[in-house]
Amino acid sequence: MRGPPQKVIWIVLSPPPIAAKLSAVTKAAHYPGNTVSAPARGPLPWSAALLGLALCGLLAACGGGKQIVRRPPPSQPVRVWPHVDPENPGAANSVLMRAFSLVGTPYRYGGNTPEGGFDCSGLVNYVYRDMLALSLPRTSRDLAGYQGPRIDPMRLAAGDLVFFGSSGNVSHVGIYVGEGRFVHAPSSGGTVRLDRLDGPYWRDHYSGAKRVLRRN
């Protein structure tokens, strides 16, 4: 004979607050097989700290903050250099061939020979003297004042001298070879080389040209 039904009482325990859980983990938890409480948490390892910083940076980047976009400076238009026949083609060809043969010669301040090296005006002097027995002024400033007409950039011909400087002062000279290019001895530590008049530095510092090779 069955007795009266027994009542089942369910006791629902609410979970402890999150803070209480974290406190319990920190203060009362222990390692398996050990009854010693877990050590209190110290500073985060450096790897975790770096990861946190990286995540903060990522969240900041994704948050739609103002970003600075740097645009490259506008490029200069490329000039088309017309071919202009030199007034003395034979002399101009001799000058060009000798100038090209000296490409790679080391720069030396005050130098004027292939063995000792060249500075800019020393190179010009050597080429014209060696090939044409033509004596020219020694410095770039004096070469700019040498007799002969000034040439418009679009009328440059092989063998013309091109000058560079700033604030009205000439400080560099080279030999024009055609197609917007010139041979020169640029600077200490460098060598005689071929450059373009439209190069970033040379275009901004171009100061004029002179024609020293004239008709016979």
Catalytic: 83?
no
| CB of 194 closer than 8 Å to CB of 103 | yes
**Residue from 62, 83, 120, 205 carrying the catalytic annotation:** 120
- Residues 137, 139, 141, 144: what is their CA dihedral angle, to the nearest 10 degrees? 40
- Amino acid identity at 34: N
CA distance linking residue 57 with residue 181, whole number of Å: 49
Q: Which of 56, 62, 83, 184 is catalytic?
A: 184
Cross-strand pairs, 174: 162
Contact (Cβ atoms closer than 8 angstroms) between residue 207 and residue 170 = yes
List 30, 62, 172, 205, catalytic entry: 172
Q: Is the distance from CB of 198 to CB of 79 less than 8 angstroms?
A: yes
| Residue 98 dihedral angles phi and psi, to the nearest 5° | -70, -40
Annotated catalytic, 172?
yes
Alpha-carbon gap, residue 181 to 131, rounded angstroms? 21
CA 52 to chain centre: 35
Query: Which residue type is seen at 162?
Result: V
Determine the number of helices (DSSP H) and then strands (DSSP E) in the chain: 6, 7
Which residues are identified as catalytic? 120, 172, 184
